[in-house]
């Protein structure tokens, strides 16, 4: 129930570390936005600054066009879910969920009714009398979610809420979080380093690295049209393969003397730059492996990891290591020599500053 | 052949090890028992002497098997002296209880500040607080006597309460600071976003979580205030005098009335013993366990 806006927000620690650098970001009302990035990229700092748990050096934060960055945390009306649950150990699950309501001095009868309702939604009525030490990890985080939900805040801030849970619980709880968030329509910022989790629940994803916002978009935007090498490498599993490129012409390139067929938009993008140190990016599932062909890109299979219906194949090529995903029944044997082919319209090109040449264009 | 030899060796070593372990384990208990007996023997003497008749006290060889009597307690409480031991006991209870309460409440707030906020000169301030314990208390006795005298507070409860509170504060602050630092910060951050102010978090979240620390510092403070002799002796006459003062005066004015002397001694130990045992069950560690991963 709030549209949140970061305007030129920067945070520099006293030791000079830049946690957030000139962040400009709008989180739309009712949206679930994921902050995705490796640890130390500034994603947690971003929501801690928004919650008022940390100060920042520069810029401003607005909620529905009102500045909130001068308010103390208790006045910002955000509910937070912590990676390590952060429940009150001396209180029962019921009292833990009731704490935000008690802070607002609601009548006892209403507190009871609201906590009971949340407990029913989260299917944990039978746990209400227990203290946190007698709850499992998944149950603890359910209480944490309940505590955030109970007061229907202006925004939800979730800091890797499922990070400590087992894989099957993560999948179950993230679906539950998404369902509740959609039902309540509350603006949510969700921090994770798990791209699969981000892809599963986010309306939009923000990729951050070294305190800087790299790209905002849906998971497919990030996957198909990464704006730079960092996003290209971070999003997608296994990561994109990068091969150094020689420029043979204004609009043609080669990898170790092998000419690479390019799509028309990529050739057009190539003509706009004089840069000679280009990097070619190829998604592992855009490769096909076949018998080696003279004057093509060939390599030796170094490792085959069967994954069920497909296999991840590591290939050593003269241009560098490559990874390909192939159907299980067509996987090569380790040590075999294979030829690598790929479709020209699914390629990515990066200049010497690691920017994508074909950014923002439909190239596939 | 080799295998057999190795096995044989192992067997021998095993036998030797268990044979060696037996006397060491027993010896350890024996030493502990002797030391415990050594520590408790004075208490045994105090309590038994208080319960003996005068003839039994001076009998040689000592009477181990005697019929206990409460005559000495009766004499100490109702017969000897102008003022009975009870008024000293009440003084001790008032002064110890109030100074302990003040030291723990004020100390907990200061300790929370040290644990959770950063401010200029924090380390120096913390060290200065600890340094108030460096000098022997007797070094301050003259200036403090003069201060108390000028303030017109000689022989008053308030003077001893203030002095004992000040002396206990440094201990309380340093112990509780560690307890507060151990609370995972996320719990307090959760309370902040849940809508609580810092002061509310102190009372409703932090304080309940350091209960073992509160209990142990309360016990230590109470024991100190209860047993303190030097300042009580110098700053009080009769109105606010505590039990240790009474005990010291006892042996002089009454000659050596051993039975009554020991009866008062027993009564002086009992309240603090009861207090400690009553609080002991709250000294459980690990209350924060399970709050965060």
List domains and CATH numbers for chain B. 2-69 (no CATH), 75-280 (1.10.3720.10)
Q: What strand order describes the sheet that includes A258-260?
A: A258-260, A252-255, A241-249, A278-282, A348-350
Question: Which residues contact residue A89 at a Cβ distance below 8 angstroms, ignoring those fewer than 6 apart?
Answer: A131, A132, A133, B187, B209, B287, B288, B289, B290, B291
Alpha carbon distances (Å) from A226 to A74, B44, B257: 38, 83, 96
Contacts of B195 in chain A (CB under 8 A): 74, 100, 103-104
Q: How many CB pairs under 8 A join A and B?
A: 87
Residues of chain A with CATH 2.40.50.140: 239-350
The mean pLDDT of B243-252, rounded to a whole number, is 77
Report CB contact under 8 Å: B193, A84: no
Q: What is the pLDDT of residue B6?
A: 44
Is B91 strand, coil or helix?
helix
Name which CATH class applies to A239-350.
mainly beta
Closest approach of A202 to chain B, Cα-based (Å): 23
Contacts of A51 in chain B (CB under 8 A): 189, 192-193
CATH homologous superfamily, domain A4-230: P-loop containing nucleotide triphosphate hydrolases (3.40.50.300)
Return the bridge partners of A155, or none.
Answer: A78, A187
Q: What is the pLDDT of residue B9?
A: 46
Residues of chain A with CATH 3.40.50.300: 4-230
Q: Is the pLDDT at B289 greater than 60, yes or no? A: no
Q: Is B287 on the interface with A (CB under 8 A)?
A: yes
- The ipTM (two decimal places) reads 0.84
Rounded-to-integer distance, Cα B267 and Cα B206, Å: 37
Question: Two tokens at A62?
Answer: 């607005």
Question: Two tokens at A343?
Answer: 């479709």
Q: Is A78 on the interface with B (CB under 8 A)?
A: yes
Cis before B61? omega within 30? yes
E strand residue ranges, chain A: 4-12, 18-27, 32-36, 58-63, 66-67, 78-81, 155-159, 187-192, 204-209, 212-217, 241-249, 252-255, 258-260, 278-282, 287-290, 298-306, 310-317, 320-327, 337-342, 348-350
Q: What is the pLDDT of residue A361?
A: 47
The mean pLDDT of B115-140, rounded to a whole number, is 90
H helices of chain A, where?
43-51, 93-103, 108-121, 137-149, 167-184, 195-201, 219-224, 229-234, 264-271
Question: Two tokens at B94?
Answer: 């008032």
Closest approach of A113 to chain B, Cα-based (Å): 18
pLDDT-derived band at B2, boundaries 50, 70, 90: very low
Report CB contact under 8 Å: A53, B194: no
Considering only CB atoms, A74 lies closest to which of B195, B288, B293, namely B195
pLDDT digits over A15-73, tens only?
888 999 999 999 999 999 999 999 989 999 999 999 999 999 999 999 999 999 999 99
Average pLDDT of chain B is: 84
pLDDT digits over B37-93, tens only?
999 999 899 999 999 888 888 888 888 888 888 888 888 777 765 566 788 889 999
Average pLDDT of chain A is: 91
Q: Between residues 32 and 61 of chain B, which touch chain A (CB distance below 8 Å)?
A: none
Closest Cα in chain B to A134: B290
CA dihedral B288, B290, B292, B293 (to 10 degrees): 140
Question: Two tokens at B41?
Answer: 């023997």
Chain A interface mutation, best of B182, B188, B189, B194, highest count of A Cβ atoms under 10 Å:
B194
Question: Two tokens at A15?
Answer: 């030791």
Report CB contact under 8 Å: B184, A133: no
Is B162 strand, coil or helix?
helix
SS3 per residue for B28-60: HHHHHHHHHHHHHHHHHHHHHHHHCCHHHHHCC
Report CB contact under 8 Å: B184, A86: yes
Question: Two tokens at B28?
Answer: 């350890």
Q: Is B6 on the interface with A (CB under 8 A)?
A: no
Question: Which residues contact residue B200 at a Cβ distance below 8 angstroms, ignoring those fewer than 6 apart?
Answer: A103, B191
Look up the pTM and report it: 0.80
pLDDT digits over A295-313, tens only?
888 999 999 999 989 999 9
Q: What is the pLDDT of residue B284?
A: 58
Report CB contact under 8 Å: A85, B292: yes
Q: What is the pLDDT of residue A28?
A: 95
Chain B interface mutation, best of A86, A105, A160, A165, highest count of B Cβ atoms under 10 Å:
A86
Tell me which residue of A173, A93, A53, A177 sits closest to B290, measured CA to CA: A93
State which H helix or E strand residue B20 sits in: helix B2-51
Q: What is the pLDDT of residue B286?
A: 42
**Whats the size of chain A, residue-wise?**
364
Q: Is the pLDDT at B291 greater than 60, yes or no? A: no
Report CB contact under 8 Å: A100, B192: no
Closest Cα in chain A to B293: A84
Residue of higher predicted confidence among B107 and A249: B107
Report CB contact under 8 Å: A164, B289: no
Per the CB < 8 A criterion, the answer to whether A241 and A284 are in contact is: yes
Q: Is A135 on the interface with B (CB under 8 A)?
A: yes
Query: pLDDT below 50 — which residues of chain A?
Result: 360-364
Q: Is B289 on the interface with A (CB under 8 A)?
A: yes
Q: What is the pLDDT of residue A34?
A: 96
Q: What is the pLDDT of residue A364?
A: 35
Report CB contact under 8 Å: A51, B193: yes
Alpha carbon distances (Å) from A341 to A75, A310, B264: 58, 18, 99
The mean pLDDT of B245-274, rounded to a whole number, is 80
Closest approach of A132 to chain B, Cα-based (Å): 6
Question: Two tokens at A138?
Answer: 């998944």
Percent of chain B with pLDDT over 70: 85
Per the CB < 8 A criterion, the answer to whether A275 and A281 are in contact is: no
pLDDT digits over B8-27, tens only?
444 444 455 555 567 888 89
Report CB contact under 8 Å: B192, A104: no
């Amino acid at each position: 129930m709030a549209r949140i806006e970061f305007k030129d927000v920067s945070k520099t620690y006293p030791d000079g570390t830049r946690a957030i650098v000139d962040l400009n970001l709008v989180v739309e009302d009712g949206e679930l936005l994921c902050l995705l990035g490796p640890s130390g990229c500034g994603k947690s700092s971003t929501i801690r600054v928004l919650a008022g748990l940390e100060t920042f050096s520069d810029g401003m934060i607005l909620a529905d066009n009102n500045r909130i960055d001068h308010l103390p945390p208790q006045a910002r009306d955000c509910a937070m879910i912590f990676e390590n649950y952060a429940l009150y150990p001396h209180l029962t699950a019921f009292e833990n969920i009731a704490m935000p309501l008690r802070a607002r001095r609601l009548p006892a009868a209403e507190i009871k009714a609201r906590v009971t309702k949340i407990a029913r939604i989260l299917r944990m009525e039978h746990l209400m009398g227990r203290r946190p030490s007698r709850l499992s990890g998944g149950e603890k985080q359910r209480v944490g979610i309940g505590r955030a939900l109970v007061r229907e805040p202006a925004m939800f801030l979730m800091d890797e809420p499922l990070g400590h849970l087992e894989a099957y619980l993560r999948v179950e709880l993230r679906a539950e979080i998404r369902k509740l968030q959609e039902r309540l329509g509350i603006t949510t910022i969700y921090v994770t380093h798990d791209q699969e989790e981000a892809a599963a629940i986010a309306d939009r994803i923000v990729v951050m690295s070294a305190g800087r916002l790299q790209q905002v978009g849906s998971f497919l935007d990030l996957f198909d049209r990464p704006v730079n090498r960092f996003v290209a490498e971070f999003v997608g599993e296994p990561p994109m393969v990068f091969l150094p490129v020689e420029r043979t012409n204004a609009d043609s390139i080669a990898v170790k003397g092998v000419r690479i067929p390019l799509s028309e938009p990529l050739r057009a993008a190539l003509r706009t730059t004089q840069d000679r140190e280009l990097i070619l990016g190829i998604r592992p599932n855009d490769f096909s492996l076949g018998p080696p062909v003279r004057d093509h890109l060939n390599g030796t299979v170094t490792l085959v990891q069967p994954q069920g219906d497909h296999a991840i194949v590591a290939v050593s090529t003269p241009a560098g290591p490559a990874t390909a995903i192939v159907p299980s029944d067509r996987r090569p044997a380790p040590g075999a020599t294979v030829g690598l082919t790929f479709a020209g319209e699914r390629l990515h090109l990066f200049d010497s500053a690691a920017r994508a040449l074909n950014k923002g264009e439909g190239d596939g | 052949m080799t295998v057999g030899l190795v096995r044989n060796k192992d067997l021998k070593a095993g036998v030797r090890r268990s044979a060696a372990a037996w006397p060491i384990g027993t010896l350890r208990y024996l030493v502990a028992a002797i030391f415990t007996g050594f520590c408790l023997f004075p208490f045994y003497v105090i309590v038994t002497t208080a319960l003996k008749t005068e003839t039994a006290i001076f009998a040689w060889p000592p009477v181990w098997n005697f019929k206990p009597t409460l005559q000495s307690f009766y004499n100490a409480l109702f017969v000897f002296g102008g003022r009975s031991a009870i008024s000293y006991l009440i003084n001790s209870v008032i002064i110890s209880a109030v100074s302990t309460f003040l030291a723990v409440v004020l100390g907990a707030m200061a300790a929370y500040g040290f644990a959770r906020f950063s401010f200029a000169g924090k380390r120096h301030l913390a060290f200065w607080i600890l340094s108030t314990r460096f000098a022997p208390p007797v070094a301050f006795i003259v200036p403090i006597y003069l201060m108390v005298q000028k303030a017109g507070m000689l022989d008053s409860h308030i003077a001893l309460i203030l002095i004992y509170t000040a002396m206990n504060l440094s201990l309380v602050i340093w112990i509780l600071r560690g307890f507060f630092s151990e609370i995972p910060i996320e719990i307090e951050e959760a309370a902040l976003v849940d809508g609580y102010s810092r002061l509310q978090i102190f009372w409703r979240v932090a304080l309940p979580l350091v209960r073992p620390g509160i209990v142990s510092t309360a016990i230590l403070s109470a024991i100190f205030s209860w047993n303190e002799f030097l300042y009580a002796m110098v700053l009080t006459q009769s109105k606010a005098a505590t039990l240790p003062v009474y005990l010291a005066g006892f042996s002089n004015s009454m000659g050596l009335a051993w039975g009554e002397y020991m009866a008062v001694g027993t009564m002086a130990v009992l309240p603090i013993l009861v207090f400690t045992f009553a609080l002991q069950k709250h000294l459980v560690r690990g209350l924060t366990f399970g709050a965060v991963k």
